[in-house]
């Protein structure tokens, strides 16, 4: 079998060959060395004079991109997707919605603000792999307590740098998200065919239920901030820390529940409302969560869902979901709110969507009355929000907590609070 060639030290071959050589790392300047000395707490264990070993990104269609190891050494498999945010890599890495995916950052320079404890959106990094063009080896931010290199290495995240991320993004945009793998260390030396065989053996995202991997095991609660208006049962399908904070700030006692919880248990808590979080995987593989939601809706409990929770509401109402070619991932996604006529720039991370006409009022196929699309994407007209007209339920496909990203949609937490307060006063009907 053909062995992997050494990484060339010269400039990369023709781009059409889809193989890029890692750039040669120059010695650090005196200024960089001085900065590293002043900030020992956030200097990486990586030395700028070191040269990471070779690594290769392999796509399921046979395309190969050779670069340098970034993060941990070894092998990782997952669906390759791209994220368009210029900032917020820490929030993206710790977003459970990225579980099972190898994430490519389209911004060319990643890592310059390091890592800190305050911006963690969950307990760990969830991406299956990480791809950057040019990694920053030294953190240059007063809040940083460690470098991105440190966290990737400590958490065993296999990555690759020094490859043409723009060419890969264009390829994914043209061909769609696909299986992929990163190989470094001894596994870099596997033959092309062996590496491709491993990539093809990876699990597809379609039909995959990942909520068990990211959900809390034990329930826990967060007290309301300020005046308590009631409790909200949160089904943790991959919830982010910022989301829980925003709910508590609206006066909710937040009851975070594992994804395995039953409708009977939820109803026994007598919550003022139900919230389904964001999360990874295919909504078509989450029938148990759809059934739970239907039972709670029939009990008359108000509902708000985001991201994965939007897809599950769509399915609970009787509509189907489908996989997008390459998804929406980034902090600059324009959405039209049909209820207000406003355009909002939103933070998004999803690869599936609800199949529902964006115009007109429709009857729920599951008996929940009239339904309409409340929001849609201005890029591709994908459904970005659902509003029920006869029950207190609504959802959006994006992340209104916007961690990271613009806060245009933060008002949706206020809308949810108002719906719950109206429900407590005995006012049913449209979720304005």
Give 206-234 pLDDT, tens digit per residue.
999 999 999 999 999 999 999 999 999 99
| pLDDT at 3 exceeding the cut of 80 | no
End-to-end CA distance of the chain: 64
Instruction: Tell me if the bond preceding 404 is cis, omega within 30° of 0.
Output: yes
Alpha-carbon distance of 371 to 363, in angstroms, equals: 6
Q: Among the listed ranges 20-29, 56-65, 322-331, 345-354, which one has the minimum average pLDDT value?
A: 20-29
Is 351 annotated to bind a ligand? Reply is: yes
In the Cβ-directed half-sphere of 184, how many Cα atoms lie within 13 Å? 27
CATH class of 15-200: alpha beta
Q: Which helix (H) or strand (E) holds 313?
A: helix 308-316
What is the CATH number that goes with domain 211-424? 3.40.50.880
> Which pTM was predicted?
0.86
Is 252 annotated to bind a ligand? Reply is: no
Distances (CA, A) of 293 to 156, 283, 371, 397: 36, 13, 16, 17
Q: Give the mean model confidence (pLDDT) for residues 141-147.
A: 93
CA nearest to 75, candidates 195, 204, 169, 210:
195
- Classify each residue of 63-99 as buried b or exposed e, where b means 16 or more C-beta atoms within 10 Å of its C-beta: bbbbbbbbbbbbbbbbbbbbbbbeebbbbbbbbbbbb
- pLDDT band with cut points at 50, 70 and 90 for residue 37: very low
Q: Give the pLDDT of residue 409.
A: 78
- pLDDT band with cut points at 50, 70 and 90 for residue 427: low
Q: What is the pLDDT of residues 63-122, one digit of tens each?
A: 999 999 999 999 999 999 999 988 899 999 999 999 999 999 999 999 999 999 999 999
Is 349 annotated to bind a ligand? Reply is: yes
| pLDDT at 45 exceeding the cut of 60 | no
Return the active site residues. Answer: 307, 399, 401
Ranges for all domains in the chain classified under CATH 3.40.50.880:
211-424
Q: Which residue do the tokens 């407590």 mark?
A: 424
Is 279 annotated to bind a ligand? Reply is: yes
Q: Give the pLDDT of residue 373.
A: 98
| pLDDT at 36 exceeding the cut of 60 | no
Alpha-carbon distance of 83 to 188, in angstroms, equals: 26
Is 281 annotated to bind a ligand? Reply is: yes
Q: Among the listed ranges 125-129, 141-145, 246-250, 425-429, which one has the minimum average pLDDT value?
A: 425-429
Ranges for all domains in the chain classified under CATH 3.50.30.20:
15-200
Other C-beta atoms lying within 10 Å of the C-beta of residue 279: 32
Q: Give the mean model confidence (pLDDT) for residues 337-363.
A: 96
Alpha-carbon distance of 257 to 244, in angstroms, equals: 12
């Amino acid at each position: 079998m053909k062995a992997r060639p050494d990484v060339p030290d010269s400039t990369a071959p023709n781009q059409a060959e889809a193989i890029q050589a890692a750039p040669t790392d120059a010695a650090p300047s005196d200024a960089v060395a001085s900065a590293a000395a002043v900030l020992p707490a956030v200097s990486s264990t990586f030395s700028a004079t070191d040269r990471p070993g070779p690594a290769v990104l392999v796509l399921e269609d046979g395309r190969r991109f050779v670069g340098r190891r970034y993060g941990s050494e070894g092998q990782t498999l997952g669906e390759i997707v791209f994220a368009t945010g210029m900032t917020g890599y820490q929030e993206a890495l710790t977003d459970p919605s990225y579980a099972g995916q190898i994430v490519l950052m389209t911004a060319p320079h990643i890592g310059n603000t390091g890592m800190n404890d305050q911006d963690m959106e969950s307990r760990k990094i969830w991406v299956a792999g990480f791809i950057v063009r040019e990694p920053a080896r030294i953190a240059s931010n007063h809040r940083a307590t460690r470098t991105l290199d440190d966290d990737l290495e400590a958490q065993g995240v296999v990555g690759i740098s020094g490859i043409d991320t723009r060419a890969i993004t264009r390829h994914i945009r043209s061909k769609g998200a696909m299986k992929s793998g990163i190989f470094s260390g001894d596994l870099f030396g596997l033959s092309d065919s062996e590496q491709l065989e491993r990539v093809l053996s990876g699990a597809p995202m379609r039909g995959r239920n990942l909520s068990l991997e990211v959900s809390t095991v034990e329930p826990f609660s967060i007290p309301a901030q300020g005046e308590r208006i009631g409790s909200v049962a949160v089904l943790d399908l991959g919830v982010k820390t910022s989301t829980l904070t925003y709910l508590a700030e609206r006066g909710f006692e937040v009851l975070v529940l594992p994804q395995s919880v039953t409708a009977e248990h939820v109803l026994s808590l007598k919550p003022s409302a139900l919230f389904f979080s964001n999360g990874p995987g295919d909504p078509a593989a989450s029938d148990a969560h759809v059934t739970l939601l239907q039972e709670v809706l029939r009990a008359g409990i108000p509902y708000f869902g985001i991201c994965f929770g939007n897809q599950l509401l769509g399915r609970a109402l009787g509509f189907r979901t489908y996989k997008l070619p390459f998804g929406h991932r980034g902090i600059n996604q324009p959405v039209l709110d049909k209820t207000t006529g406003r355009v909002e720039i939103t933070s998004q991370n999803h690869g599936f969507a609800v199949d529902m006409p964006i115009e007109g009022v429709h009857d729920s196929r599951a008996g929940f009355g009239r339904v309409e699309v409340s929001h849609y994407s201005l890029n591709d007209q994908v459904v970005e929000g659902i509003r029920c007209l006869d029950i207190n339920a609504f959802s959006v496909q994006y992340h209104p907590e916007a961690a990271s990203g613009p806060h245009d949609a933060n008002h949706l937490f206020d809308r949810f609070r108002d719906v719950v307060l109206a429900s407590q006063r005995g006012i049913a009907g449209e979720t304005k």
